[in-house]
């Protein structure tokens, strides 16, 4: 409830999205996902003949993280002012270094759309690899947790049955018979 309320305000959403990016493994995953999504959309729009500034603004709309939206919006403003894309992206420190270098090379070579596609492909592959690694790490923990839960349920079902069998056979801790003096 508190997280929902916090996420409804502009400041709260900015705070929570910034926090998401700082989480050790998942923050990197979120950043790479957004970079891949932004790069893919920008490449498609630019390749389709949309001018670079409207293409950047439209690509920003596909991102959900407010911190990254704010940073990339400043990139769009700088590109409108005549600053090269790679330079403005470098100033806001949104993208990883390799993506920045690939965009810079694409911009200088005149094949920005191809390089943006390569950036998107690279980070999509990296995301898949990270998700596979996380899954491989989490699976044993799930197996242990599920085994513990199943073991607890089995024990909860069979212990009363064993105690009843002990009472019926007259075991050492058997319940006193009716009419017997205590």
To the question of pTM greater than 0.85 for the whole model, the response is no
Task: Give the other-Cβ count within 10 Å of 30's Cβ.
Answer: 18
For residue 169, the model assigns a pLDDT of 85
Q: What is the pLDDT of residue 176?
A: 55
pLDDT value of position 171: 62
- Tell me, what's the pLDDT at 97? 87
Positive or negative: CA dihedral 93, 26, 7, 59: positive
On whether the CB atoms of residues 85 and 75 are closer than 8 A, the answer is yes
Residue 120 is predicted with a pLDDT of 93
**Residue-level pLDDT at 146:** 95
> What is the mean pLDDT of each successive set of 10 residues along the chain, which is 182 residues long?
68 82 87 91 92 90 88 89 88 85 89 91 93 90 94 91 84 55 52
Residue pair 35/119 in contact (Cβ under 8 Å)? The answer is: yes
Residue that has been written with the tokens 């700088």 in this structure: 78
Report the Cα–Cα distance between both ends of the chain, in Å, rounded. Answer: 56
Q: What is the pLDDT of residue 17?
A: 82
In the block, which residue shows the tokens 């998107």?
120
What is the Rg, in whole angstroms, of the alpha carbon atoms belonging to the chain? 29
Residues 78 and 92 sit within 8 Å (Cβ to Cβ):
no
Residue ranges of domains in the chain, CATH in brackets: 2-125 (1.20.81.30)
pLDDT at position 153 is: 94
């Amino acid at each position: 409830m508190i997280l929902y309320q916090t996420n409804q305000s502009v400041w709260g959403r900015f705070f929570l999205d910034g926090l998401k990016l700082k989480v050790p493994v998942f923050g990197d995953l979120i950043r790479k996902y957004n970079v891949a999504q932004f790069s893919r959309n920008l490449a498609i729009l630019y390749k389709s003949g949309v001018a670079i500034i409207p293409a950047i603004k439209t690509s920003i709309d596909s991102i959900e993280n407010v911190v990254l939206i704010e940073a990339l919006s400043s990139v769009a403003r700088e590109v409108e002012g005549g600053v090269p894309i790679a330079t403005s992206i470098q100033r806001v420190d949104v993208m990883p270094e390799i993506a920045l270098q690939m965009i810079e090379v694409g911009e200088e070579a005149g094949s920005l759309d191809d390089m943006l596609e390569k950036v998107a492909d690279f980070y999509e592959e990296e995301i898949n690899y990270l998700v596979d690694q996380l899954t491989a790490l989490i699976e044993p923990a799930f197996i242990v947790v599920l085994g513990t839960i199943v073991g607890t349920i089995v024990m909860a079902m069979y212990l009363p049955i064993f105690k009843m069998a002990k009472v019926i056979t007259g075991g050492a801790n058997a319940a006193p018979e009716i009419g017997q003096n205590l």
